[in-house]
Amino acid sequence: MPTDRIAGIRLERLQLPLTIPYKLAFGPVTAFDTVIAEVIDTDGNTGLGEATILTGYTPETIAGCWQSIQEIARGLTGRTFEEAKTVAFKHHHDAPFTVTALVTAIEMLERHPILLPDDDIDVPLLAILSATDEKGIVKEVAAHAAAGYKTIKVKIGWDVDDDLKRTAFIQSCLPDGVSIRIDGNQGYSKEDGVKYASRVDPKNVELLEQPCHMDDWDASKAIVAATNVPFMLDESIYGEREIERAADMGGVSYIKLKLMKAGSIDNLMKQLQLIRDLGMKPVLGNGVAADLGCWMECCVAHRMIDNAGEMNGFLKPTQALFQNPMRVTFGSVRLPAALPALVEHERFIIDTAFIGEC
């Protein structure tokens, strides 16, 4: 069993190239900028946590994360686990992803029960539609359906008329039992968001996600009043305050959470329950996270989520980070009933730091 005091923290800054650029409304992502925290107790036991930094998902930058995680880590060594988490959370408002990497590493070191399922588990995922031309869309939709996916994510947020036309074509290609989850990635103005939401055909649409800027709550309110389909907030949500604000606004059907915003596994679980308590449905998952973040979200989703998870970022880099990689079979990811270990990944390391007795 682990002891209850931190001896040292090893930090790595990685750049993980992606197999295919990940298309977002604010530009394609070609590599993940990821920081891994390894927290070590006085008996040499370890826990791992991750922060993958992306503009639009967090106000943090990768350079700022790398600097602040070292500064925060210096205040954690020598402390008990509970003391260290309390100290780290003082920085959560300004550096949520950074703090999550450290605190979830401590939770893994503590052997958080949700990270230790009794047996191998399967967690349903959604698939991403990358094609934009009609021939490619037909081929890709058929491939996803054949692979067992029941939910396909469609990206919009560019030209609203083109997006409506492409959405309609995608709907015409969907096999029975397959729905789409439409993600605007904050790409629209208020006017275009309302136009899309009021004109999109609801056929086989599970939900419409965050078409307008995260800070534009007025736009979200206007879309809720006009939409033909269930509406979900994502980037606008950072914690309990925003979840409650969404509930007070009315008309929000879904709230999506990411572990890296929550600061800890315990916080994430509390927020998921709050969403349900306030009459909305939770969605979980980070499509811009590496293996550690996705694995932790899968462990939580297995217990607390009843729809397709979005924690598929681990499929995007050119190489898995786990010695025993997560495998996707018939639309679900299989997690072994064991804590993961990392492969050798020196070629992806940009920088390292050692804090305390490492």
- The pLDDT tens digits of the residues spanning 195-241 come to 999 999 999 999 999 999 999 999 999 999 999 999 999 999 999 99
Q: Where are the beta strands (DSSP E) in the chain?
A: 6-22, 29-41, 46-53, 121-124, 127-128, 151-155, 179-183, 205-209, 231-233, 254-257, 281-284, 327-329, 332-335, 349-356
Strand partners, 332: 124, 329
Task: Name residues of the chain where pLDDT drops below 70.
Answer: 1-3, 24-26, 358
Strand partners, 145: none
pLDDT at position 58 is 84
Which domains occur in the chain, in start order? 6-112+344-356 (3.30.390.10), 121-335 (3.20.20.120)
Name the amino acid, one letter, at 276. Answer: R
pLDDT at position 223 is 97
CA 91 – CA 93 distance, rounded (Å): 6
pLDDT at position 25 is 60
3-state secondary structure (DSSP) of residue 228: coil
